[in-house]
Amino acid sequence: MKIARSLLLFCCTATLFCALALGAPQANDGTGAYASGHYRDLFAEQLGHSPQESRAKIDAAFQQLFHGDKDHQALYYETGSNANGPLAYITDVANKDARTEGMSYGMMIAVQMNQKHEFDAIWNWANTYMLITDPTNPSVGYFAWSMHTDGTPRSDSPAPDGEEYFVMSLYFAANRWGNGTGIYNYKAQADRILSLMRHHPVQSGTPPFRLKPDRSPFVPPTRPGRPANTSAHTVGPMVNEEAKMILFVPGGDRNNFSDPSYHLPAFYELWSRWGPVEDRPFWAAAATTSRVYFQKATNPTTGLAPDYANFDGTPRPSFNPNSANFSYDSWRTASNWSVDYSWWHKEAQEPILSDRIQKFLLSQGVDNFVDQYTLDGKPLSQRHSTGMLATTATASLAATPGNTSKTFLAALWKTPIPAGEQRYYDGMLYMMSMLHCSGNFRIWGPR
C-alpha cells in the first residue's frame, strides 16, 4: 500500500511539473488567450472579413514598411554586415534617427510575422551601436534610446519602453525559433536585460559619456539659454521597487515618475512565468499595479491618459509642455490595457476604460479626432493620426462589442498603410494593431 501511495504521489507530482513546464493553465492564469489559446479576430467577428483577407492586408503592410520604396514607404534599412551577420535599423524618418522604441517594435513585428532574418539584423544593429558597454557610463548595460542612422549617438541613456519590447520579443524568438549562440541566444539575452532592469547598480558619473570604450564621448548639442549639463548623473534600475512600476527613465530628475504607456501588464504576466526566477514575484505584482494605475491615470469621463504621470496617477508636468496632456506616448495606453484584457481577462475595469475612450473619440468624429488633447477633452492639435486610430481600434479587444467598437475597426480596416514622412510611428502602431485586431499577435510560449 505504501508503494502504491508513493507511486501515485510521484505520478501526480510529475504530471504537475510537466504541466507547469509546458505552461499549462494554472489557477492564476485568467480566462484570456494565454489560458484558452484563442485569439479573437475582431475583423471577422464584427466586420465579416475572412482571415485570408486580414492576412493579405498584414502581409502587404509588412512588405511595404520593411521592403517598400526606401524614399516613401520603408522604415527598415539594411546596412552591411559584421561578424554576427547582417545589420539593419528601423528609422524615425521625420527625425532621422533610430530609436530603441522602433527597433524593438520592429523585432516584435518580425517575430510575429516569422521573419527571422529581419529580427536578427535589427538585433545585431542594436547590439553593435546602441548597447552601452563603457563601464564609466552610468547607463552601462542599457541601450541608448536614440542614435543617428550611421551608428553615432544622439543620446547616452535609455528609455525603458525599448528595453521592455526587446525583452518580450527576445523571449518570443527563443520560444518560436530556438536559441542560437552569442547575441542570438535569445533567452539569455532577454534574461540579462530583464534582470538588469530591476537590479542595475546605482552608478554616478560626470558627462560627457561614451557608449563604447573605443568611441568618442557623446556631447549633446546645446540650446540657446541652456548651457551643457556637466553635473553628476546617476542611473539605477528601470523600476521603482516600492511602487512596483516602470519608471520614465532610470536616473536624474526624471526618476520619480512614470509613463502610463510604458505599462505592459500583458508582458509582465509572462515575465512572472518565464523570467529570472528571483524576479518573478515582482513582475506578477507589477502586472496588478499597472492595471490599477490605468484606472488612476485616465480621465473618468474621456478615458484619456497623460504622457507622464506620478505614481499616484496624477498628471506630471515636466520638461515637455504636453507631458501632463494626452499626447503621442499616450496613444499606446489604451492598446496596452486592452491587450492585457485579451490575453489574461484579469481586470474587469479594462473594458470600461476602452468603452470610455472610444465613446469620447467617436463624439469627436472617427475620421476627425485630433491626436493631442487635454485630459478633459480640449483639442491641442489639428492632425488626425493613423497611429492613434490604430491603437484606439485595438481597444476593441476589451471594449463592449457594438456599433462604437465596430466603427473604429472599420476605420482601421479602410485606412491605407502609412507612407511619407510620418510613416514611422503611425506605421509601427498600424502594423501591430492590425496583428492584434486580426488575432495574429500571439504569445509564443516555451515548446
- pTM value is 0.93
Residue 127 DSSP one-character state: I
- The grid cell for 193 is 536585460
Size (the chain), residues: 447
CB-based contact 434:394 (threshold 8 Å) = no
Q: Which of 29, 92, 101, 269 is catalytic?
A: 101
Q: Angle between the 331-344 and 265-274 helix axes, to the nearest 10 degrees?
A: 50
- Phi/psi region, residue 119 (left: phi>0; alpha: psi -120 to 50; beta: rest), is alpha
176 neighbors 186 (Cβ within 8 angstroms): no
CA 139 and chain centroid, separation: 20
CA distance 340 to 303: 17
Residues of the chain with pLDDT below 70 are: 1-27, 223-229, 252-254
329 in active site:
yes
Q: Which of 439, 444, 446 is nearest to 45 (CA)?
A: 439
Domains of the chain: 238-420 (1.50.10.10)
Q: What is the pLDDT of residues 377-433, one digit of tens each?
A: 999 999 999 999 999 999 999 999 999 999 999 999 999 999 999 999 999 999 999
Indicate the angle between helix axes 403-414 and 349-364, nearest 10 degrees. Answer: 60
DSSP string, 283-347: HHHHHHHHHHHHHHHS-TTT----SSB-TTS-B---SSTTTTSB-TTTHHHHHHHHHHHHHH---
Other beta carbons within 10 angstroms of residue 404's beta carbon come to 18
CB neighbour list of residue 273: distance below 8 Å, 6 or more residues apart: 23, 280
Between CA 60 and CA 416 the distance in angstroms is 11
- Cα separation of 210 and 350, whole Å? 43
Element (H, E) at 233: strand 233-235
Please name the residue that has the C-alpha cell 520579443: 169
Choosing from 269, 307, 329, 355, which is the catalytic residue? 329
Where would I find the H helices in 147-203? 160-177, 186-199
> Would residue 421 show up in a list of annotated catalytic residues for this protein?
no
* Number of neighbours of residue 19 by Cβ within 10 angstroms: 12
Q: Which residues contact 314 (CB under 8 A, 6 or more apart)?
A: none
* Rounded Cα distance, 34 and 344, in Å: 6
| pLDDT at site 378 | 98
Quote the pLDDT of residue 186. 99
- Beta-strand ranges (E) seen in 91-213 are 97-99, 146-148, 203-205
Amino acid at 284: A
Residue in the structure block whose three cell numbers are 505592459:
264
d(CA 69, CA 93): 13
